Structure 1
Amino acid sequence: MSDSRGHTGFDVDSNKPRALQVSPAAPAAEPSGQPPGPGGPEAPFGRSDEMTALLAKYPDTAHVDALFFDLCSLVRGKRYPVLDADKLFEDGMLIPYSAWLLDATGDCSDPGGRGYSDGDPDGVVRPVAGTLAPVPWSPVPSAQVMCSLDEDLDGPVVDPRNVLRRVERQMNRAGMFPVVALELEFYLIDQAERSPDGSPLPPLNPDTKQRDKSNQVYGMTELDDYAEFLRDVESACVAQSVPAYTATSENAPGQFEINLKHTDSAVRAADHAALLANIVERVANMHGFKATFMAKPYVDMAGNGLHIHLSVLDADGNNIFDDGTPQGSPSLRWAIGGLMEAMPESMALFAPNVNAYRRYAPNNYVPVKRAWGVNNRSVAFRIPGGPGTARRLEHRVCGASANPYLALAAVLAGACWGMENKLDPGPAVTGNACEQMDPGVPWTFRAALARLEKAHILPNYLGADYLHLYSETKWAELEKFQAVISPHEYLWYL
């Protein structure tokens, strides 16, 4: 994204973009170069300075949305009239635990007896400090705040954000402090029209008014054609302190990637990704598009990925992945060794539905082999170029439909496992690493769920309790999906 800070909003009556000054929320802390303290309870959020400051800037604020992200990374929550918002900040809000265990259709399958079997009890949800922000796309002046379930991280948890908090805390206690940035790919598609078989259609190009057919990766014309949409995404990111900084046109009509700046909190990095996805979807709607992070919306076009950039600091703030060489330190290679070993049992988190596995195919810039390399986009674990102080690995396996909290938790777990056990990843790959599918990796959702049930690495970090709940929820979703008769069954077998 550009460095421009001109903010835009929307004319509710005409549903067209219009100029509107939107002041940014209080900025999130930038990476300090020093590791944070060991993970623990987050700072309490009272009414406070944040709410007082927001109302001073936006006295017409009508309501506050309390948001959280569930197992499938779908946004849920409650809407508070602004006069009642103090109750949220002082006491939290009550939400049933089962709300974090819903499948992609919004159903609860009672995983582990969490749902109708236990009486569907409530948990207390509390706002996350630093996340109260205006909502530029709202038809009335409003604000939103991210929330997280108040859970003991040493016991069973159901909030994906707490799963990641638990993994990051475990790394911190071992003297390792992750620095993370995520990249998200998505498609803009036609909001109303579909192909006869129900598949999406590329959007009408805002400049040409014709169905978009452009396939110009890194094309600047494409960025110009969608400039109003991208400017409004940027403005919303500024308003909500989401550190997005570049946008690129990708490998298919209407496909884009937006990058996020690194942060020295893995949890905040996942917060940024979740909020960015919500911003993209809401702003797309206001521009007459639909945005989708579906991993493979078109059979014959590129898929959508979620790329995770990771480096690790020691207690003195030094990057332990940097030893002055392009291939990085032994710690970096050990981390890759752990990611290789953990990849088969992690696939159900990296690719969390049937569609996500359609993205994996040979010779398509999508990792299909447990391989690593330097400045090589065909591998699963890439070491980008650049200065040694920024030495990092890029994890390229996840589809964009993955829950960023759970995907990042699995990546941190694999990297930590490798460093703790000094796992050798073998030699770096040069040339094409994605010609053949790795037979040791499950390449269907059913096989991935079965492999997750035999996991021996992830339970040590994410918790066997949560993985069991996740697995049961996704097995039920898969069975429900397979109970539907597809159009091809009528076409082929009727």
Structure 2
Amino acid sequence: MDITTPSLRTACADLNGQMRGKRLPARHATQLEYSGQRMPLSVLTLDLWGADIEDSPLVHASGDADGQLRCTERGPVPMPWLPEPATLVPMWMYTDDGAPFDADPRHALARVLSRYSKQGWKVIAATELEFTLVDDSGGALDTVRSPMTGRPLTGQAINSVTALDSFAHFFDDLYDGAEAMGIQAQAAISESGLGQFEINLDHGPAMRVADDTWLFKSLVRGIARKHGMAASFMAKPFDADAGNGLHVHFSVLDDKKRNIFDNGHMTGSAVMKQAVAGCVAGMPGATLIFAPNGNSYARMTPENHAPIGASWGYENRTTAIRIPGGPPAARRIEHRSAGGDTNPYLVMAAILGTAIIGIEDGLSPPDPILGNAYGQRILKCPTSWDDAIDRFATSPRMTRVFRPRLVEMLAMVKRQEQIKTNALSANDQILSVFERV
């Protein structure tokens, strides 16, 4: 690795998508590339506040053994949000015998993608990230002030160019930072919430897009701080506003680079419908992945720009799964269930994993929804954190997507977080999640 900055950071994604790693002098870069770095396996299964899980089998049964962090193929990237130059080296976790660690979220996605590779297929994906710029200088989250006027924002500004221009310097730095990190950021739009924006990341190989999405969230938060604001990917930072989502688009190419979802028509191929069927059937069990925190469930309410059940439709944004229009060669699936507070690796693993189960099992989807999905009978998903944890822990489909250790540990992490969250006031619950997602 060619590191030109004085210091570097190593980081891997834990189950919550938080960066866990170390700071090192740049002279350690060569050793890091060839020898990796030791770190406890349990670090990837900490709760949202960074605490060990009570009675964790990784701590108590194995004596809190170390694993080995190794560099990922994503390679080192700059950290443009820091005041001094530094380099971030993305890592993932292996056990001492050289096996991928079962509770590592990036390995979970890699295992799903290997199932596509065995068919001679390659998954192409893209993400849309919604976030809210806020003022957290007081004892509660407040509406961000316009950098142009100094006054708090008022009123909705859907697709407002004026709203984007009010934060022009922030977005200029954000795009410059993304380019420096090799992240292909596309159009930014103003959303319906106060200070809420969406940025699309360009389509590409699914693992690269998951890496970029994970890195981009840190970039957004860091650039916001440089501009005297805070950025939140919380599912629902303000009760009166629409929540933040993480939408995933994907298609699948065969060994001749043909889109297997394309049948030359809007309807999409039989394989596409099998993938849709898998996503629909798997959504109740995967709800904890798409809504991992107590606050996540405030977003999942009718007529609130977020799906409340498992449904699909053509060009229908009230459904959980939308088949966008456009040229048949670009036929793809848009999965709209996940909140912005999610782990991109687990979200993509759950979506692509249930999709390939639908293909492998030859499933047929229910009829596509016509009109507003909120008023129709559809497959219900858990509507509370408690039910979502139970459903995930016992879902046969989730054990076909994720290794048992990951299912066990994520359920334990969320149970511990649930207990801690319930002991906080409503305002402190918001602040505690905001600071970490």
Q: Secondary structure at the match of 2:394?
A: coil
1:142 correspondence with 2:86:
yes
Q: Indicate the residue corresponding to 1:310 in structure 2.
A: 250
1:248 to 154, 170, 189: 189
**TM-score normalised per structure 2:** 0.93
* Letter aligned with residue 40 of structure 2: P
Q: Indicate the residue corresponding to 1:468 in structure 2.
A: 408
The 1:208–1:100 alpha-carbon spacing in structure 2 relative to 1, beyond 3 Å, is same
- Please, what is the CA RMSD of the aligned residues? 1.9
Q: Indicate the residue corresponding to 2:286 in structure 1.
A: 346
1:424 to 339, 364, 379: 364
Q: Indicate the residue corresponding to 1:180 in structure 2.
A: 125
Q: Secondary structure at the match of 1:256?
A: strand
1:458 deviates by 1.9
Q: Indicate the residue corresponding to 1:434 in structure 2.
A: 374
Deviation digits for residues 97-131 of structure 1, max 9, x if unmatched?
A: 11100111111114651124422111111122342
Q: Secondary structure at the match of 1:400?
A: coil
Contact 1:362 1:437 in 2 (8 A): no
Alignment of 1:82-121 (within 5 A): 82-110=26-54, 112-121=56-65
**TM-score normalised per structure 1:** 0.83
Output the CA distance in 2 between the equivalents of 1:325 and 1:357. Answer: 36
The 1:96–1:437 alpha-carbon spacing in structure 2 relative to 1, beyond 3 Å, is farther
Q: Indicate the residue corresponding to 2:297 in structure 1.
A: 357
1:305 deviates by 0.3
The 1:110–1:160 alpha-carbon spacing in structure 2 relative to 1, beyond 3 Å, is farther
The 1:332–1:153 alpha-carbon spacing in structure 2 relative to 1, beyond 3 Å, is farther
Q: Indicate the residue corresponding to 1:447 in structure 2.
A: 387
Q: Indicate the residue corresponding to 1:63 in structure 2.
A: 7
Which structure would you say has the larger Rg? 1
1:141 deviates by 2.1
1:349 deviates by 0.7
Contact 2:126 2:250 in 1 (8 A): yes
Q: Indicate the residue corresponding to 1:405 in structure 2.
A: 345
1:175 deviates by 3.2
Structure 1 stretch displaced more, 427-436 or 238-247: 427-436
1:366 deviates by 1.1
Identify, as 1 or 2, the structure richer in helix: 2
The 1:291–1:155 alpha-carbon spacing in structure 2 relative to 1, beyond 3 Å, is closer
* Letter aligned with residue 179 of structure 1: I
Structure 1 stretch displaced more, 449-458 or 81-90: 81-90
Alignment of 1:328-347 (within 5 A): 328-347=268-287
The 1:106–1:112 alpha-carbon spacing in structure 2 relative to 1, beyond 3 Å, is closer
1:458 correspondence with 2:398:
yes
Contact 1:263 1:269 in 2 (8 A): yes
1:468 deviates by 1.1
Output the CA distance in 2 between the equivalents of 1:467 and 1:117. Answer: 17
Output the CA distance in 1 between the equivalents of 2:344 and 2:178. Answer: 17
1:201 correspondence with 2:142:
yes
Q: Indicate the residue corresponding to 2:152 in structure 1.
A: 211
Contact 2:93 2:100 in 1 (8 A): no
Q: Indicate the residue corresponding to 2:23 in structure 1.
A: 79
Q: Secondary structure at the match of 1:263?
A: strand
Contact 2:134 2:231 in 1 (8 A): yes
Deviation digits for residues 434-471 of structure 1, max 9, x if unmatched?
A: 23685631110100111112211121121222111111
Q: Indicate the residue corresponding to 1:158 in structure 2.
A: 103
Q: Indicate the residue corresponding to 1:128 in structure 2.
A: 72
